[in-house]
């Protein structure tokens, strides 16, 4: 009786096994690694906004403080978006004919808020609070990047759970002096007080910052 399989079958069998192994590897990569990649997290992504608002112009160029527009960032969980009225406190008098600003003027006239598209967003099951981070010496750029030099606002950090935990495990080296919190181009240099000094000055941490219940409650 002749053999059931020809010699070439060995080759095909191994190839099939190899392919299956590759498929499993590719599948796990796409399921477990892809969602954490910068592309999937939309890092460096700037959504189309109703008005091409430029932080570079307003913050670096004109020297306006973050809190002029994001007024509640020190006292509330939300940083707060500027109401149309805040834009119009200047644009009622300057650039009054610019077509770019048409939506802003219409918004004030029709009493309908501008709908900005979210750039940074954490899922709804994550509890986040701006005020405590500002009070404890975490600057805007630690989570939002160098906003003051962005022509269009883009998401600069991945904001995964890993990202938050990296700092919560050891906040010291990332804290900064009070007067540098709104300076988005700040980096640690020789004049910065040592991490231990900053931790002591801000009284951080008084609890275990990696407890699940800190961020999921």
Partner 1 sequence: MIRALAILSLCALSACSDMSEQPKQRSYSPLVGPAPTPTGVVTFLYREPTPPPLTLALVERGQQRFRIFCTPCHSELGNGQGMIVQRGFPEPPSYMSARLLKAPTRHFVDVIAQGHGAMYSYAARVPPADRWAIAAYIRALQKSQNASAEDLAAARAEAAP
Q: Which long-range contacts (CB under 8 A, 24 or more apart) does 162-165 make?
A: 162/36, 164/215, 165/210
Contact between residue 120 and residue 144 where contact means Cβ atoms under 8 Å apart: yes
Which of 122, 155, 153, 163 lies closest to 42, judged by CA?
155
Among 17, 23, 62, 75, binds ligand HEC (CB under 6 A): 62
Q: Give the x-and-dash track for 117-156 against ligand HEC (CB under 6 A).
A: -xxxxxx--xxxxx-xxx-x-x-x-xxx--xx----x---
62 contacts partner 1 (rule: CB under 8 A) = yes
Contact between residue 185 and residue 148 where contact means Cβ atoms under 8 Å apart: yes
Query: Measured over all CA atoms, what is the biggest interatomic distance in the chain, rounded to whole angstroms?
Result: 98
Residue 73 interacting partner from partner 1, ligand HEC, none (CB closer than 5 to 8 Å by kind): ligand HEC
Q: Which of residues 29-48 bind partner 1 (CB under 8 A)?
A: 31, 35
Among 81, 152, 161, 201, binds partner 1 (CB under 8 A): 81
Among 65, 166, 170, 211, binds partner 1 (CB under 8 A): 65
Q: What is the CA radius of gyration of the chain?
A: 25
Residue 87 interacting partner from ligand HEC, partner 1, none (CB closer than 5 to 8 Å by kind): ligand HEC
State yes or no: cis peptide before 205, omega within 30 of 0.
Answer: yes
Distance from C-alpha of 170 to C-alpha of 164, rounded to nearest angstrom? 11
Q: Which of residues 111-170 bind partner 1 (CB under 8 A)?
A: 118, 123-125
Among 88, 135, 161, 214, binds partner 1 (CB under 8 A): 88
64 contacts partner 1 (rule: CB under 8 A) = yes
Residue 186 interacting partner from ligand HEC, partner 1, none (CB closer than 5 to 8 Å by kind): none
Distance from C-alpha of 81 to C-alpha of 169, rounded to nearest angstrom? 30
| Closer CB to ligand HEC, 14 or 76, in the complex | 76
Rounded to the nearest angstrom, the gap between the alpha carbon of residue 43 and the centroid of all alpha carbons in its chain is: 8
Binding residues for partner 1, rule: CB under 8 A, are: 27, 31, 35, 62-65, 67-68, 71, 78, 80-81, 83, 85-86, 88-90, 92-94, 118, 123-125
């Amino acid at each position: 009786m002749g053999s059931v399989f020809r010699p070439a079958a060995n080759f095909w069998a191994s190839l099939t096994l190899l392919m299956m192994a590759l498929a499993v590897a590719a599948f796990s990569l796409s399921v477990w690694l892809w969602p954490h990649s910068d592309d999937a997290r939309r890092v460096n992504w700037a959504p189309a906004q109703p008005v091409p608002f430029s932080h570079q112009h307003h913050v670096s160029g004109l020297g306006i403080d973050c809190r002029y527009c994001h007024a509640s960032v020190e006292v509330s969980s939300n940083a707060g978006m500027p109401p149309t009225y805040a834009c119009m406190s200047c644009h009622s008098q300057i650039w009054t004919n610019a077509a770019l600003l048409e939506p802003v003027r219409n918004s004030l006239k029709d009493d309908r808020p501008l709908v900005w598209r979210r750039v940074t967003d954490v899922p709804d099951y994550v509890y986040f609070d701006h005020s405590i981070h500002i009070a404890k010496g975490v600057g805007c750029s630690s989570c939002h990047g160098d906003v003051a030099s962005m022509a269009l606002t883009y998401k600069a950090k991945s904001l995964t759970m890993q990202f938050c935990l990296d700092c919560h495990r050891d906040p010291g080296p990332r804290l900064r002096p009070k007067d540098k919190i709104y300076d988005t181009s700040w980096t640690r240099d020789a004049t910065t007080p040592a991490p231990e000094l900053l931790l002591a000055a801000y009284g951080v941490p008084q609890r275990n910052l990696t407890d699940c219940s800190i961020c999921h409650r």
